[in-house]
Amino acid sequence: MRALVTGSDGFIGTNLCIRLGEASDREVLRIDHQSSDQQLVEAVEACDIVFHLAGVNRPTNPDEFMVGNRDFTARVASLVAARERPIPVIFASSIQAERENPYGQSKRAAEAALLAASPDPLRWVHIYRLPNVFGKWCKPNYNSAVATFCHNIARGLPITIHDPSAPLQLVYVDDVITHWLALASALLKGHLVPDGPYRSVTPVYATSVGEVASAVDGFHKTRKALGVERVGSGLMRALYATYLSSLPPEDFSYPIVKHGDPRGVFAEMLRTTDSGQVSFFTAHPGITRGGHYHHTKNEKFLVVRGRARFGFRHVVTGERLVMDVSGDDLRIVDTVPGWAHDITNTGQEELVVLLWANEVFDREHPDTISAKV
């Protein structure tokens, strides 16, 4: 795939070029605001597909909307139409094209120019009226509320919200590009992609300005408190990645509290909303830790360095179990409710153990009862 990307230095263009460049069988031809018309001509002639992302959305003069959106798109379309062999064009338009403002009018005019120039728009033209796109490398304090919230909150700067209930339709940049790459691959393999020329990317997240700001603020407040929200899927996953990408490099790390005594050290690493917490502890040679049981609470231990002996005793029947584990043979050890348990360092070096508990430790209700094994 020789892909021409106009607007290659923009937010979406940068993400797209990086993704395109990750495969050895793709060549990226970049056109940005500094490229000459001759460079554009040569790139259109050499490419297999066009990702047309270039445009103007915040000019100093409203007349620049038509020049940067309609006229430049018409130029790209004319060059594509002049080729002997038709090539597909994927065009990043905007939902603003449905509105009667200068930007929306210019985007709609750009769509019309592209459709008019194509010999078969249902086959060769693919227009995406994108909602608000967010993700890493988006410019803050420009035209993305998400980027502004992430940038400012990550730095302790104030944000301005005029109407927290104002609706937002969001699409994540990685979802956009994943969709485009799949479409491009299908098109270049000669597959007929029906239902053109207007297309959409999913998922689209329906939320509000206030909800997004609150989520990002929550990421910031809980991070150094060792907390983390539900960030494994959906909008929260995408927002959290965007927030982290906005951190200044000096904040990539942060300290945790370490508790030490003659046995070794213990430190919490992460507390989740509803899936417990992660911590670690050490033990000097010969030291035994634990000596308790739980009614409901449960844990998973992983010895990552050293040798250890786990002891278990059923608190009712008295049944016992001894288990030797080593950091050389990684093995998860579960603590089971109703069984007293302890762990002893049986090696000659410091024992290091990772620990997950299914619930965050509650000093008022610890569910931890001392008992010898």
The CATH homologous superfamily for domain 132-173+202-254 is: NAD(P)-binding Rossmann-like Domain (3.40.50.720)
Q: Is the pTM of this model over 0.85?
A: yes
pLDDT score of 143: 85
Q: Are 222 and 229 in contact (CB under 8 A)?
A: yes
pLDDT score of 76: 97
pLDDT score of 153: 98
From first to last of its 373 residues, the chain has per-residue pLDDT tens of: 999 999 999 999 999 999 999 999 999 999 999 999 999 999 999 999 999 999 998 888 888 999 999 999 999 999 999 999 999 999 999 999 999 999 999 999 999 999 999 988 888 999 999 999 999 999 999 989 999 999 999 999 999 999 999 999 999 999 999 999 999 999 999 887 767 799 999 999 999 999 999 999 999 999 989 999 999 999 999 999 999 999 999 999 999 999 999 999 999 999 998 999 999 999 999 999 999 999 999 999 999 999 999 999 999 999 999 999 999 999 999 999 999 999 999 999 999 999 999 999 999 999 999 999 9
Domain 132-173+202-254 in the same topology as domain 2-130: yes
Q: How many CA atoms lie within 13 A of 299 on its CB side?
A: 27
Instruction: For the sheet with 307-314, list strands across it.
Output: 320-326, 307-314, 339-345, 288-293, 369-370
pLDDT score of 149: 98
CA-based torsion, 118, 121, 125, 127: positive or negative:
positive
DSSP β-ladder status, 288-293 and 264-272: unpaired
258-370 CATH, one of 1.10.10.10, 2.60.120.10, 3.30.70.2700, 3.40.50.720:
2.60.120.10
Longest dimension (CA), the chain: 86
- Concerning whether 142 is annotated as a catalytic residue, the answer is no
DSSP β-ladder status, 2-6 and 27-31: parallel
pLDDT score of 317: 98
Q: Is the peptide bond before 366 cis (omega within 30 degrees of 0)?
A: no
pLDDT score of 180: 97
Distance CA 86, CA 82 (A): 9
Quote the percentage of the chain above a pLDDT of 70.
99
pLDDT score of 282: 98
Burial zone of 326 (CB within 10 Å; 0-12 exposed, 13-18 middle, 19+ buried):
middle
Which CATH topology does 2-130 take? Rossmann fold (3.40.50)
pLDDT score of 123: 86
**Token representation of residue 170:** 């969001």
Tally of CB atoms within 10 A around 187: 20
Distance CA 73, CA 113 (A): 7
Distance CA 24, CA 342 (A): 53
Q: Which residue out of 103, 205, 240, 243 is catalytically annotated?
A: 103
Instruction: For the sheet with 167-172, list strands across it.
Output: 132-134, 167-172, 205-208
Q: Where are the domains of the chain?
A: 2-130, 132-173+202-254, 258-370
List Cβ neighbours of 109 (8 Å cut-off, separation of 6 or more).
66, 69, 70
pLDDT score of 190: 86
Of 205, 56, 183, 211, the C-alpha closest to 133 is: 205
List Cβ neighbours of 271 (8 Å cut-off, separation of 6 or more).
225, 226, 227, 228, 277, 360
